[in-house]
Chain A
């Protein structure tokens, strides 16, 4: 009976694979923001080289680096994607597990957009508007705070429409949220001179003030799925949504990006750095694996080639915002020389 043989086979496998066989396929973990780009490169790499197509897992930046730093050997991933830079604590964790040599590769930028339905008027925001509309506490005069009293955009800035503040955004576990808080919220927060002064005096309370998002229902945590936010915006023209640029790029018939400080979230504006809310994307490679797992060097070269991450490369089609020519040349040199990460 085949069932019986299957049971025996399964049991035999358990025993045999205790002595792990050598892996011949690259394993990548990490950020869900880098996932679409990383998988595109992996697929091209698999089709155009004799190596197997790498396996890419979408675990989030933090989860990915945790797996990455767990140790050296077949059982641990070779590469981790991240939508933020690796933290000192993570480098220390890596070092504790014997991973001293890490190669850092910056791949490009991702813009974070605040968009609404095409059925409504386009919003013209500033970082200060965003902070005042979404912060938990807002300044009430020099050195004083009050719980956020604003309920409509008009109260925040007389030039904005008199609609209720209703923003759909990612939950705290998301890298998009981290970047949004750091770039948009903190950017608006710093526009108050006394808060900027506070940064030097008391970093803790500065962060607590600038990074706290209101919890009274004006900011709605809409989950990690950006497609869902786009659909909800389409159904509710009064709401705004926060998500990655690639989702705006793919849904231009449904949603429009608000301008921030007069700059629209377009490919050119994000690439030039004029649009203020964009973040760099990275991947990290374990140097000790480069010579034991076949293809890592070639995968890195594919990622760092002009046809992938260049201005007209296939990653740009997928929504990645490329680095400037000088920056790309610089990182490409670092990739071929396998330069170690320095914090």
Chain B
């Protein structure tokens, strides 16, 4: 008797230990994952900039013929940037030397200069300093992502460019600042000009369309099946199929979207509208199943009390049962949507895996989504895209965490104990 009791206690302790170990292991994995992503991605939030001392004369702006109106638009800003670079390093004379000098700054520098002058045309004719974006190669060296002492064959910057970098650094014309571009720009082939705003907007539009379609449809289906539908072979058949739909691989929904929405309805390719519709198909089963569980958990006494006071079935459902089931319904919806936010496979088929520079302004504009941006950047050869990939993953994780947190809070706030 004594021995058996001991045995049982030991089994109990063993089980707890295993459980603890399982949680510990998954926490370690999760921690390692976060650590790697944060370590790789942190660099992307900083961007190296180079100071250029400019002196522009009005003559720079009316080369050729005098054009009215858009003369600020047409000027050759690239040439002005190059001239400023040459003036800063007059000792570099040969064509090769100058070319390697020009590669220190981003091709976006000319557009930065144009933007600055548009904001303040009075700068023309004065001396001013502009902090332009460094090229991705210079950026990677300055941040230390590429070692400085590597032999010349092992790095992207040659010795001349390294000495230019050091000269800039010594005279305080090189600095690292917060990378706003990353949060305000669309995609670009130049890592220093690339941002996630386009992808984030695309994801936002898709998720809104997805919610607008899947939420009412899902809740209505759940209410009807749970409260009104007769229990017969037909409803049984429908129930089984809803569960089946929840297990269908997401690429299949993409194929369906291609065949139905694009080829039959003639909707535009790459549009968040179509993306949202496809994601809605994917999210529907999750919402239906969660909503039905929530409705089922409302005690029958509530319904009976409503009937006893003379409520019609519809009134009983909409005035009493559904409001009580709402926390569960919302949790299911948010978890389903968070899942949809991370999908790429169905978007591939409807053309949302694409290079889109312009920010989408409505649900019909071509756009990508956050996970697609991660995929596209992970596939790019430029070293600087590696840290941007990790940074984009971080942003996606923050979004997903926020949505899940909302779900948890809603549940906490409205949860009722019977």
Q: Contact residues of A with B, CB < 8 Å?
A: 3, 6-7, 10, 13-14, 17-18, 20, 25, 27, 32, 35-36, 38-40, 42-43, 46-47, 52-53, 55-58, 75, 118, 224-227, 244, 246-247, 249-253, 312, 314, 317-319
Chain A proximity mask over B268-295: 1 for CB below 8 Å, otherwise 0 = 1110010011000000000000000000
Known contacts A75-B269, A227-B386: A3-B211 contact under CB 8 Å: yes
- When chains A and B are docked, how far (Å) is the Cα of A252 from the Cα of B273? 43
Q: Which of B211, B354, B358, B386 has the most CB of A within 10 A?
A: B354
Subset of 30 A-B contacts with CB under 8 Å? A3-B216, A6-B212, A7-B216, A10-B209, A10-B212, A10-B273, A13-B273, A13-B364, A17-B265, A17-B266, A17-B268, A18-B266, A20-B266, A20-B268, A40-B189, A42-B357, A43-B357, A46-B358, A55-B356, A58-B355, A75-B269, A118-B154, A244-B381, A247-B381, A250-B382, A251-B383, A252-B154, A252-B155, A253-B146, A253-B155
Known contacts A227-B379, A252-B154: A57-B99 contact under CB 8 Å: no
Task: For B355, give its contact among A35, A226, A317 (CB under 8 Å).
Answer: A35
Q: Are B355 and A47 in contact (CB under 8 A)?
A: no
* Contact partners of A225 in chain B: CB under 8 A: 378-379
Q: Are B355 and A56 in contact (CB under 8 A)?
A: yes
CB distance from A176 to the nearest CB of B (A): 13
Q: Are A53 and B358 in contact (CB under 8 A)?
A: yes
Q: Would you call B13 an interface residue if the criterion is a C-beta within 8 Å of the partner chain's C-beta atoms?
A: no
Q: Are A227 and B376 in contact (CB under 8 A)?
A: no
Q: Are A6 and B209 in contact (CB under 8 A)?
A: yes
- When chains A and B are docked, how far (Å) is the Cα of A35 from the Cα of B213? 34
Q: Would you call B156 an interface residue if the criterion is a C-beta within 8 Å of the partner chain's C-beta atoms?
A: yes
CB distance from A121 to the nearest CB of B (A): 15
* Contact partners of B383 in chain A: CB under 8 A: 250-251
Q: Would you call B215 an interface residue if the criterion is a C-beta within 8 Å of the partner chain's C-beta atoms?
A: yes
* Contact partners of A244 in chain B: CB under 8 A: 381
Known contacts A52-B358, A246-B381, A312-B99: A57-B353 contact under CB 8 Å: yes
Interface residues of B in 176-221 (CB under 8 A from A): 188-190, 208-209, 211-213, 215-216
- When chains A and B are docked, how far (Å) is the Cα of A312 from the Cα of B154? 21
Task: For B147, give its contact among A6, A55, A253 (CB under 8 Å).
Answer: A253
> 10 smallest A-B Cβ distances: which pairs?
A56-B355, A6-B212, A53-B357, A253-B154, A57-B354, A39-B355, A40-B189, A250-B381, A246-B381, A55-B366
* Contact partners of B353 in chain A: CB under 8 A: 57-58
- When chains A and B are docked, how far (Å) is the Cα of A75 from the Cα of B213? 25
Q: Are A25 and B266 in contact (CB under 8 A)?
A: no
Q: Contact residues of B with A, CB < 8 Å?
A: 99, 103, 107, 111, 146-147, 150, 153-156, 188-190, 208-209, 211-213, 215-216, 262, 265-270, 273, 276-277, 351, 353-358, 363-364, 366, 376, 378-383, 386
Q: Are B379 and A56 in contact (CB under 8 A)?
A: no
- When chains A and B are docked, how far (Å) is the Cα of A40 from the Cα of B277? 31
Q: Are A46 and B156 in contact (CB under 8 A)?
A: no
Known: A20-B268, A224-B379. 20 other contacts (CB 8 A): A3-B211, A6-B209, A6-B212, A10-B209, A10-B213, A10-B276, A10-B363, A14-B267, A17-B266, A17-B268, A42-B355, A43-B188, A43-B357, A55-B366, A57-B351, A57-B354, A58-B354, A225-B378, A250-B382, A251-B383
* Contact partners of B357 in chain A: CB under 8 A: 42-43, 46, 53
Q: Are A17 and B364 in contact (CB under 8 A)?
A: yes
* Contact partners of B356 in chain A: CB under 8 A: 53, 55
* Contact partners of A6 in chain B: CB under 8 A: 208-209, 212
Known contacts A6-B212, A25-B366: A75-B266 contact under CB 8 Å: yes
Q: Are B266 and A7 in contact (CB under 8 A)?
A: no
Quick one: closest B residue to A312, CB to CB? B99
* Contact partners of A312 in chain B: CB under 8 A: 99
CB distance from A340 to the nearest CB of B (A): 27
Q: Are A318 and B189 in contact (CB under 8 A)?
A: yes
Q: Are A314 and B386 in contact (CB under 8 A)?
A: no
Known contacts A58-B353, A250-B381, A253-B147: A7-B212 contact under CB 8 Å: yes
Task: For A319, give its contact among B99, B111, B262, B381 (CB under 8 Å).
Answer: B381
* Contact partners of A39 in chain B: CB under 8 A: 189, 355
- When chains A and B are docked, how far (Å) is the Cα of A279 from the Cα of B357? 29
Task: For A17, give its contact among B146, B267, B354, B381 (CB under 8 Å).
Answer: B267
* Contact partners of B262 in chain A: CB under 8 A: 75
CB distance from A190 to the nearest CB of B (A): 31
CB distance from A48 to the nearest CB of B (A): 10
CB distance from B392 to the nearest CB of A (A): 15
- When chains A and B are docked, how far (Å) is the Cα of A174 from the Cα of B177? 40
* Contact partners of B379 in chain A: CB under 8 A: 32, 58, 224-227
CB distance from A266 to the nearest CB of B (A): 10
Quick one: closest A residue to B215, CB to CB? A3
Quick one: closest A residue to B103, CB to CB? A317
CB distance from A177 to the nearest CB of B (A): 16
Q: Are B354 and A47 in contact (CB under 8 A)?
A: no
CB distance from B135 to the nearest CB of A (A): 9
Quick one: closest B residue to A29, CB to CB? B351
Task: For A18, give its contact among B216, B265, B277 (CB under 8 Å).
Answer: B265
* Contact partners of A55 in chain B: CB under 8 A: 270, 354-356, 366
- When chains A and B are docked, how far (Å) is the Cα of A249 from the Cα of B155? 9
Quick one: closest B residue to A57, CB to CB? B354
CB distance from A223 to the nearest CB of B (A): 10
* Contact partners of B213 in chain A: CB under 8 A: 7, 10
* Contact partners of A56 in chain B: CB under 8 A: 354-355
* Contact partners of B378 in chain A: CB under 8 A: 225, 227
* Contact partners of B355 in chain A: CB under 8 A: 35, 38-39, 42, 55-58
* Contact partners of A7 in chain B: CB under 8 A: 212-213, 216
Q: Are B267 and A3 in contact (CB under 8 A)?
A: no
Quick one: closest A residue to B135, CB to CB? A317
CB distance from A332 to the nearest CB of B (A): 22
Q: Are A13 and B153 in contact (CB under 8 A)?
A: no
CB distance from A255 to the nearest CB of B (A): 10
* Contact partners of B380 in chain A: CB under 8 A: 36, 227
Q: Which of A3, A13, A226, A246 has the most CB of B within 10 A?
A: A13
* Contact partners of A75 in chain B: CB under 8 A: 262, 266, 269
